[in-house]
Amino acid sequence: MSLANRSLVTIDDLSNEEIEAVFSLADEMSEAMDKQSRVCQGKLMASLFFEPSTRTRLSFEAAIHRLGGNVISAVDVGATSLAKGESIADMAKVVGSYADIIVIRHPWEGAAKVVADYAGVPVINAGDGSHEHPTQTLCDLYTLKKERKTIKGLRIALCGDLKYGRTIHSLIYALARFNVARIYFCPGRGLEMPSHVLRKLTQEYGGTLYEHPVAKPLALGQRVDAIYVTPSDSHQLALMPDIEINIDISEGALYVTRLQKERVKDTNQGVVSTEGYPVISADLLKGKEFKHTIVMHPLPRLDELACEIDADSRSMYFKQAARGVPIRMALIALLLGAKKMDISKPEAPAAQKIAYPVYKRDSGIRCSNPRCVSIQETETKYIKPEFKIVDLEPLTLRCIYCEHEAKPQYIASSDWHQGLLASKKYHSADSHLTRKIKPQNLIIFDSESEAQARGFKPSSYATRKGE
């Protein structure tokens, strides 16, 4: 397999072996940084950062310069034609005709996928809303490998904003694929891991999720909200439901994130309290259970990571940031086809590829995530809502752009009414008909009123259970 001409939108766009190949090349390049200036000579990278960035943008730009290439950039939506109402797809086609590779950060979830669909050149997602940030994950995994020698079998605690933190979402899939043993979730209040991430973890990566375990707090007041045990760890936590579980990350890592204030503000939720938000301090690290624990953070930090631990040999966050340059140099060189690596065939697929039925219709249900690219006014002209049907009981759809889930309540079949208005009937999604209607005939409504507005009448199965 070659990485040339591919895009990196989600961490699942790379196999474990391809990630290892990026790491090997990054090792090679970091040993001879000043000898790389011909690798991408004559190549142009478009750097489009429509959200604030220091590390990601500057390390990408440093990377292409060190490879001998050049950069064109836009850092403000207001200074581009997007502000005039141009669609992301049009922008992608144009920029793709100017540059050999595009790096994009955008507040809309799924925006990087749209750019990759239309640009015609490799596209790297440098963060799309709270969805994913796969290149930060490459820096995180690389650091874990360097500091802990192997990722397999590690125990890792994820602390802070697990809901809006995109680095966390990409990282958790990768950790599961690389067979860490256990992941402990220690979210701030109201910042728990989203349901779509949890479903993907258990349905596609195997492993078991123990929600609200009887577990010792990680530290004073820092609760462990869930434990994910990968298939490589055979220990059955469920067999001892009443015994308090000891949280052991002494040989593992504490991965902390800041509260993503800007995204909390964007939702109707308003403000999330930082009371009880995990804080990693010198005092905490004095505990003998943290004697060998490394501390990681994608940065920037707020108050969750005390400056007093910066000089501590367990603190890895500045190393993580520094490693961003060789990692991104290796990635750019591989996607541009300027470097080739021997990439071994996977022994076994890292994640179970499930061929979910797809739901795609011009009208009907739309994604309900306000930050999803598919529902933005400038994009609805050409993006058709598209979902994977990830469960039937209850009917659950996953948006293919932002991956948020929807549990729609009303359905119909395009087959049974045979075009006759009088026989167009809608049913409750919790009736047995959800399983009976073939996916290709399924019509799914946002609401009962939408079904009626489209000329459907209630069938005898239109009442929802319990109503």
Using CB under 6 A, list all residues that contact ligand NCD. Answer: 55-56, 127, 133, 136, 166-167, 257-258, 298-300
Q: Which of 183, 243, 225 is nearest to 207 (CA)?
A: 183
Burial class (CB in 10 A: 0-12, 13-18, 19+), 410: buried
> What whole-number distance in Å separates Cα of residue 41 and Cα of residue 332?
12
Cβ proximity to ligand NCD: between 167 and 293 the closer is 167
| Per-residue CA distances from 344 to 15, 21, 149 (Å) | 10, 9, 20
Rg of the chain on CA atoms, in Å: 23
CB of 52 to ligand NCD, least distance (A): 8
Find the Cα–Cα–Cα–Cα dihedral 22, 27, 31, 34, rounded to 10°: 10
Any idea what the Cα angle at residue 206 is, between residues 200 and 212, rounded to 5°?
Answer: 75
CB of 417 to ligand NCD, least distance (A): 47
Cβ proximity to ligand NCD: between 61 and 430 the closer is 61
Cβ proximity to ligand NCD: between 167 and 179 the closer is 167
CB of 189 to ligand NCD, least distance (A): 18
| Per-residue CA distances from 4 to 75, 126, 139 (Å) | 26, 18, 20
Q: Which of 58, 125, 147, 64 is nearest to 99 (CA)?
A: 64
Cβ proximity to ligand NCD: between 4 and 299 the closer is 299
> What whole-number distance in Å separates Cα of residue 58 and Cα of residue 106?
16
CB of 224 to ligand NCD, least distance (A): 22
Cβ proximity to ligand NCD: between 136 and 378 the closer is 136
Query: Which residue number places its CB atom closest to ligand NCD?
Result: 298
Sheet containing strand 442-445, strands side by side: 442-445, 410-413, 425-428, 457-458
CB of 260 to ligand NCD, least distance (A): 6
Cβ proximity to ligand NCD: between 55 and 457 the closer is 55
CB of 51 to ligand NCD, least distance (A): 7
CA atoms within 13 A on the CB side of 196: 24
Cβ proximity to ligand NCD: between 230 and 260 the closer is 260
Q: Which amino acid is at 69?
A: G
Cβ proximity to ligand NCD: between 26 and 429 the closer is 26
CB of 170 to ligand NCD, least distance (A): 9
| Per-residue CA distances from 309 to 139, 158, 280, 288, 349 (Å) | 21, 18, 8, 16, 39
- The phi and psi torsions of 215 (rounded to 5 degrees) equal -135, 150
CB of 161 to ligand NCD, least distance (A): 8
Alpha helices in 240-367 (DSSP H): 261-266, 282-285, 317-322, 324-335
CB of 166 to ligand NCD, least distance (A): 5
CB of 403 to ligand NCD, least distance (A): 16
Instruction: Name 245's Cβ contacts closer than 8 Å, sequence gap at least 6.
Output: 213, 214, 215, 216, 224, 227, 237
300 cis-preceded (ω within 30 degrees of 0): yes
Cβ proximity to ligand NCD: between 6 and 258 the closer is 258
- The phi and psi torsions of 127 (rounded to 5 degrees) equal 120, 115
CB of 222 to ligand NCD, least distance (A): 19
Cβ proximity to ligand NCD: between 298 and 385 the closer is 298
Sheet containing strand 253-256, strands side by side: 208-211, 226-229, 182-187, 155-160, 253-256, 294-296
Cβ proximity to ligand NCD: between 217 and 300 the closer is 300
